[in-house]
Amino acid sequence: MKRILLVFSLMVCLLVAGQTVCFADTVSIESADDPGFSGGSIAVPFADSNWASSPDFNSAADTPLALSADESAAISARQTELAQALRVSAQSSTSLYSVLDETNDADWDQSTLESLATPSVIPATMWYCAVKLPCYDQKRTPYCGPFSTYQILRYMGSSEPDLMKHLISEMYIPGQGSSIYRLARSLNKRLYFTYMVSDVGSATDYAYKHVVDIRNHKMPLDNLVRIQGGKFGHYQHYHAGHFLDSNGYYFDSARRFGYILATDTYNERNESGGHTLGPHWIPFWQMHRGVVLHPRHKVVW
């Protein structure tokens, strides 16, 4: 009997050890902005534990998905809407977006920017709009695509059971990261709003994507960026590919600068005390350049 128990114990230990080879600890999905809701927990493959610094992560080819007639029509309507918005802007006397290709990083800290970015104090030369997303922490997982999608869906009030697990299953490809086309489809299958994948375009085009989505529709964008440490917000390290939501903008046409409000699911603390988790302002040119630098140079809007 003792031998049987010993063999059984060894088998259990081997099974547990085998599991730890395949999966890291589970990560709880919670939000400080939404304490009454927990999305459960997920397991993280060890094979993708170095996703943040891997030069190959999220740089593989991403295959577009076949579109239905309804999807094609909706996308065509959104492209027409953007083109019309750009025409109106070109005829505007403020010429706000004609200067965006020349914007520079303003020498302001976050608290100064945030104090100015309120409708009651914005001069006529400034444009501002933002929506508030619930922020979720992806911890050390490689699931920035599912988590950024999760934030948008929770912002829209989704209470779908096991939502995070469904999103990972729908869009995540082990060793490669999330498919941007599958990400857009995961949003569209759950929302009445039509999201589309397109090239980031010029700085003007990218800026007006934010105006159309955030001001006109109260919807955030999902950006696929390549981050160079020290040249993108608070990030100090290189990230080959990372999804993050943008849910606000702040442009000054007189002084020629712009900022994008991003709500990130990944927390990279640095020596100066800064962090990347949650909402924070990133210079517009850094956001635009981050999307352009990624091999796919695509944005979901």
Has residue 283 been placed in a domain?
yes
What share of the chain has pLDDT > 90, as a percent?
28
Please check whether residue 194 is in contact with residue 74, taking contact to mean a CB–CB distance below 8 angstroms: yes
Residue 292 lies in a domain: yes
List, for residues 166-185, the tens digit of each pLDDT value. Answer: 999 999 988 788 999 999 99
In a domain, 273, yes or no: yes
Q: Say if 282 falls within a structural domain.
A: yes
What string of DSSP letters covers 215-270? IIH---EEEEEEE-TTSBTTB-S-EEEEEEEEEEEEEETTTTEEEEEEEES-----
Structure tokens at 67: 């579109």
β pairing state of 197-199 and 257-264 = unpaired
Residue 250 lies in a domain: yes
193-242 tens-digit pLDDT: 999 999 988 888 898 899 899 999 999 999 999 998 888 988 888 888 99
Domain that holds residue 206: 19-300
pTM: 0.80
What is the domain count for the chain? Answer: 1
Count Cβ atoms within 10 A of the Cβ of residue 135 and give its class: 0-12 exposed, 13-18 middle, 19 or more buried. buried
- Is 35 contained in some domain? yes
Does residue 274 fall inside a structural domain? yes
In a domain, 134, yes or no: yes
Burial class (CB in 10 A: 0-12, 13-18, 19+), 191: middle
